[in-house]
């Protein structure tokens, strides 16, 4: 029993099942359980990243509060976007990042550093937990837990049932994902690998606090580095959706037996995940030559999102066909 109920019967689903059976069977291609490592990007891979990544929604709220306290900030980006609610500049900044231009992303990082400097990790976790408790998705409405892709939730469960250890490896903030990783994905916080701000230990308060420094951006070539430094093993399965995931997909292919999946947001059927290729053009163009299995949201998923009253893997009528 494979329980990939939201995956339509077809070549993609069969390739996943065949690979898992190959590496978990008794044949010559079997992979020992400790070596069955799977890594997943988060935004756009495990849950929707439109109209903006979840963390950016949280950050925009912080910037708006900062601009209210200091009106001078409201005249400059990225605070201007937060105050006016015109997020076109933010979207363009992310698209420029995916295209290799981090000019505007550096402005965003600077604003993030200013808002979190000297905050304890516990206070930040509390703020993030409150956001998840109260915030609603900007276009779908309801909790962000319902923006999780049901087929990916099923894939995570399927892999865990077959002796895989699954990790999130994201360009998003590690500490923003940790509070919900177990609840939303079944992945414990110690298996979350992401971007990080600088940290220091405050001996006076016995607290770990954020510094006004950026430790690293876990995207592009940094992903394989962080995978090795945090996990100490080369994955045998990787799933991504953007150009920034290419090094992780390729690094995984260095294993004797591997599977690299690339989620393609091509669904034009009105099921809540509008089609887009921005930020994934290079990955999609290289998919055939580089051996990525392209997962079509339109054709491979019969259901898109986790239903609105459950996170336990139940399927939803939203997106069923």
**Within a domain: residue 309?**
no
Q: Which of 134, 166, 195 is the last residue of a domain?
A: 134
**Within a domain: residue 197?**
yes
Q: Residues 82, 37: one domain? A: no
**Within a domain: residue 229?**
yes
**Within a domain: residue 276?**
yes
Tens of pLDDT, residues 169-196: 999 999 999 999 999 999 999 999 999 9
Q: Residues 37, 84: one domain? A: no
Q: Residues 216, 288: one domain? A: yes
Query: Nearest to residue 82, comparing CAs of 106, 98, 58?
Result: 58
- In this predicted structure, what is the pLDDT of residue 2? 59
Mean pLDDT on 62-81: 93
- Whether 62 shows a pLDDT value over 60: the answer reads yes
For residues 238 and 39, is the Cβ–Cβ distance under 8 A?
yes
Q: Residues 219, 193: one domain? A: yes
Q: Residues 223, 284: one domain? A: yes
**Within a domain: residue 1?**
no
Cα–Cα distance list, 47 to 136, 146, 272 (Å) = 14, 9, 12
For residues 79 and 67, is the Cβ–Cβ distance under 8 A?
yes
**Within a domain: residue 4?**
no
Tens of pLDDT, residues 287-307: 999 999 999 999 999 999 998
Q: Residues 75, 129: one domain? A: yes
Q: Residues 205, 279: one domain? A: yes
For residues 85 and 229, is the Cβ–Cβ distance under 8 A?
no
Separation between Cα atoms, residue 47 and residue 40, nearest integer Å: 11
Query: Nearest to residue 87, comparing CAs of 135, 42, 139, 125?
Result: 139
Question: pTM for this structure?
Answer: 0.91
Within 8 A by CB and 6+ apart from 183, the residues are 145, 311
> Domain span at residue 31?
11-49+148-300
Q: Residues 164, 24: one domain? A: yes
Q: Residues 184, 249: one domain? A: yes
Q: Residues 45, 58: one domain? A: no
**Within a domain: residue 266?**
yes
Separation between Cα atoms, residue 68 and residue 84, nearest integer Å: 12
Tens of pLDDT, residues 97-128: 878 898 998 899 899 898 899 999 999 999 99
Tens of pLDDT, residues 232-269: 999 999 999 999 999 999 999 999 999 999 999 999 99
Q: Residues 119, 164: one domain? A: no
Helices (H), the chain: 11-24, 54-69, 79-84, 88-98, 103-116, 121-134, 150-161, 174-185, 222-231, 246-252, 281-290, 297-300
User: Measured at the alpha carbon of residue 219, what is the angle toward residues 154 and 282, in degrees to the nearest 5?
Assistant: 85
Give the residue carrying structure tokens 């109260």. 134
Q: Residues 204, 111: one domain? A: no
For residues 130 and 138, is the Cβ–Cβ distance under 8 A?
no
For residues 91 and 78, is the Cβ–Cβ distance under 8 A?
no
Neighbouring C-alpha atoms within 13 Å toward the C-beta of 103: 5
- Domain with residue 290: its CATH number is 3.40.50.1000
Separation between Cα atoms, residue 69 and residue 85, nearest integer Å: 17
**Within a domain: residue 161?**
yes
Q: How confident is the model at residue 155 (pLDDT cuts 50, 70, 90)?
A: very high
Could you give the number of structural domains in the chain? 2
């Amino acid at each position: 029993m494979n329980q990939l109920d939201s995956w339509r019967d077809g070549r993609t689903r069969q390739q996943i099942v065949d690979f898992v059976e190959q590496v978990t069977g008794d044949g010559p291609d079997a992979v020992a359980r400790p070596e069955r490592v799977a890594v997943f990007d988060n935004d756009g891979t495990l849950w929707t990243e439109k109209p903006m990544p979840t963390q950016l929604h949280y950050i925009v709220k912080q910037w708006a509060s900062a601009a209210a306290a200091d009106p001078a900030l409201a005249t400059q980006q990225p605070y201007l976007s937060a105050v006016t609610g015109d997020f076109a500049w933010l979207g363009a900044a992310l698209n420029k990042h995916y295209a290799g231009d981090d000019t505007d992303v550096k402005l965003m990082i600077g604003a993030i550093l200013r808002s979190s400097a000297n905050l304890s990790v516990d206070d930040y976790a509390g703020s993030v937990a409150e956001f998840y408790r109260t915030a609603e998705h900007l276009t779908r409405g309801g909790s962000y837990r319902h923006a999780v892709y049901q087929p990916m939730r099923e894939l995570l469960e399927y892999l865990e049932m077959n002796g895989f250890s699954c990790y999130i490896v994201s360009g998003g903030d590690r500490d923003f994902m940790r509070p919900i990783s177990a609840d939303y994905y079944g992945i414990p916080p110690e298996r979350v690998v992401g971007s990080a701000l600088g940290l220091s230990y405050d001996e006076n308060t016995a607290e770990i606090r954020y510094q006004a420094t950026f430790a690293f951006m876990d995207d592009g070539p940094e992903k394989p580095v962080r995978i090795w430094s945090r996990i100490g093993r080369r994955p045998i399965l990787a799933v991504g959706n953007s150009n920034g995931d290419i090094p992780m997909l390729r690094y995984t292919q260095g294993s004797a037996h591997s599977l690299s999946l690339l989620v393609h947001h091509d669904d034009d059927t009105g099921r809540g995940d509008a089609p887009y290729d921005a930020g994934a053009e290079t990955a999609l163009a290289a998919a055939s030559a580089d051996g990525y299995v392209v997962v079509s949201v339109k054709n491979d998923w019969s259901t898109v999102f986790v239903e609105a009253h459950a996170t336990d893997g139940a399927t939803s009528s939203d997106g069923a066909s």
